[in-house]
Amino acid sequence: MPTIYYNDIPIDKWNIVTWPASPDREKTGQGAQAYLPLIQHINSRYRKSINLSLIQDKLNQFNPTKINGVTVYQTDPAPFIVGFLGKQQAYLIDDTFPPDIWNTPKITDDVTSHRRVGDFVPNGNMYNQSPKITDMYQASLGDYSFVSMTGGTCESIDTHNIQFTSIYPPAYNGTGVYSVRFFANEKYYYVVIDDLIETAFYVSMDDGIFWYYLYEKAIAKVCQGYHKLNENYCTYTVFENTFHWLQDDNDAAFCVASLKDMANKNKVALFANFNSRYLVNKHAYAILYYCEYNDTKFIRLHNPWNIITYKGPYCPGSSDWDNVPPIIQKDLFQLKKFKQKSFWMPYELLPNKDCYIRFLDIPGSTKEVFNGLYGGVNIQNLTRVTEAYTQGYYQSRHEYPTVKGLGKAYDTAKFQIIKETGDRWDYSAPVDENGNWTWQGQPGQFGIGKYTVSSNPELFFPTASFSINQHV
């Protein structure tokens, strides 16, 4: 299975149930549910502005730290900032990373290339359903490695959902506030940015989509300038695992073994070359997939220019494909996916000199937090628990629980009650026309102890809790 199809659906900015679930944020109460009372602010367009530096002292509760001298956070502060700005009817200006230190070129001496998102995609969506490698293409500056690696995370079964949940809120935000999750020192952090975006030179996107502009700006802020968006900072996207030159026999053998493993686990890989007959020299490509057919090894590559320049064996339209049965073309190679945007080529045509392959993966120390995001699972349309509490029953003197939640995407909400001992019970409740649901237990149904309620236990979403005592 060389390619993966995801079940992503369009995001409705008014309905948080359609937002991709971010377990790291849900864990600290900063996930989609935190934005429920803020929806009106997100969908407003305020005229007054407030500088980020003026409110940074209010963000100490979110565990700030420094990376490369830049303030980042161990807990996502974005919902708090949106709420604060909403009360002031203002939008954010990130004066800690102003355009004059972006290190970006000017279109002319008098005209720069940055605008607020709402000014150049007035009715746009952050995503066309979800992030895809074909959404963006490298413009004119040498950030091809970073573009390729970011795009590769969109197509890997292990990292697609990681990338899909990296930016919050995952929709147009009138207050201009976004937090972007990134990896450093085998941990994850959040960096806050505004929506003043560089719109030329580095990367362009399809009309009405702007997720990569935000992601690009966030990493540029962390590494202190757009001019540093090169392969040295690819590891902020995920965590670097291996780096191998193909001219080394041991490295070359490792790459083949890793590519086979990539076909099963879909890790992220980047190929760069400086001496190729078939590919652009001094350039990098994302390796999307690997497969073998008739004793030939194939890799699928994507050029960050979002075009195909490869003209060798098995290039698009080549007569070589006439020798491959249609069913193999459809099921194994899936030629229709990313048509005219990626291509297959025999692995043996990669130069064995002056080129390397990098394999990247999520840090092992953080994988548990993101458990459940792997494997192509659907992270939208999830039922969410909003509260749980107990009430007394005067006849039996036992307490009983009540659980409430939001689940507009389904007619029936399913959830799990988990006792501190590890015992689990599955329950469900009907969802009304407004997306609300309530479940009520029976007196004496649960014994003494502490309980958590989770609508998505596989994603580590213990979003409410209650305790049962012997008497009230």
How many Cβ atoms from other residues are within 10 Å of residue 374's Cβ? 18
The pTM of the full predicted model, rounded to 2 decimals, is 0.82
Residue 51 maps to a domain: yes
Surface-to-core class of residue 339, CB atoms within 10 Å of its CB (0-12 exposed, 13-18 middle, 19+ buried): exposed
Residue 4 maps to a domain: no
DSSP 267-321: -EEEEEESS-SSS-SSEEEEEEEEEEETTEEEEEEE-TTSS----STT-TT-GGG
> Are 63 and 151 found together in one domain?
yes
d(CA 336, CA 321): 13
Q: What is the CA radius of gyration of the chain?
A: 24
Helix (H, G, I), strand (E, B) or coil at 466: strand
pLDDT computed for residue 109 by the predictor: 57
Surface-to-core class of residue 459, CB atoms within 10 Å of its CB (0-12 exposed, 13-18 middle, 19+ buried): buried
Q: How far is CA 370 from CA 22, 25, 291, 366, 460, in A?
A: 8, 10, 28, 7, 8
Q: Over the stretch 323-353, which tens digit does the pLDDT of each residue have?
A: 999 999 998 998 888 778 899 999 888 877 7
pLDDT computed for residue 460 by the predictor: 53
With residue 258 as reference, give the H or E element that holds it: helix 249-265
Last residue of a domain, one of 205, 235, 265: 235
> Are 211 and 109 found together in one domain?
yes
- Considering only CA atoms, which of 190, 159, 282 is closest in space to residue 151? 159
Strand ranges across the sheet with 70-73: 64-67, 70-73, 187-193, 178-184, 167-168
Helix (H, G, I), strand (E, B) or coil at 56: helix
Low-confidence ranges of the chain (pLDDT < 70): 1-7, 105-112, 122-123, 139-142, 201-202, 231-234, 239-245, 247-248, 250-251, 262-267, 273-275, 363, 372, 375-376, 381, 392-398, 407-410, 456-463, 470-472
> Are 266 and 344 found together in one domain?
yes
> Are 142 and 77 found together in one domain?
yes
Residue 340 maps to a domain: yes
> Are 201 and 121 found together in one domain?
yes
> Are 308 and 391 found together in one domain?
no
Residue 200 maps to a domain: yes
CATH number at residue 306: 3.90.70.10
- Considering only CA atoms, which of 27, 29, 35, 28 is closest in space to residue 11? 35
Last residue of a domain, one of 235, 265, 284: 235
Residue 368 maps to a domain: no
What domain range is 388 assigned to? 382-471
Residue 373 maps to a domain: no
Surface-to-core class of residue 260, CB atoms within 10 Å of its CB (0-12 exposed, 13-18 middle, 19+ buried): middle
d(CA 378, CA 287): 24
Residue 183 maps to a domain: yes
How would you label 316-331 residue by residue, b for 16+ Cβ within 10 Å and e otherwise? eeeeebeebeeeeeee
d(CA 166, CA 218): 11
> Are 44 and 170 found together in one domain?
yes
- Residue 244 β-bridge partners: 357
Q: What is the DSSP letter of 85?
A: H
> Are 123 and 165 found together in one domain?
yes
Last residue of a domain, one of 200, 235, 270: 235
> Are 227 and 285 found together in one domain?
no
> Are 322 and 251 found together in one domain?
yes
> Are 155 and 202 found together in one domain?
yes
> Are 427 and 345 found together in one domain?
no
Total domain count, the chain: 3
Residue 230 maps to a domain: yes
d(CA 288, CA 4): 10
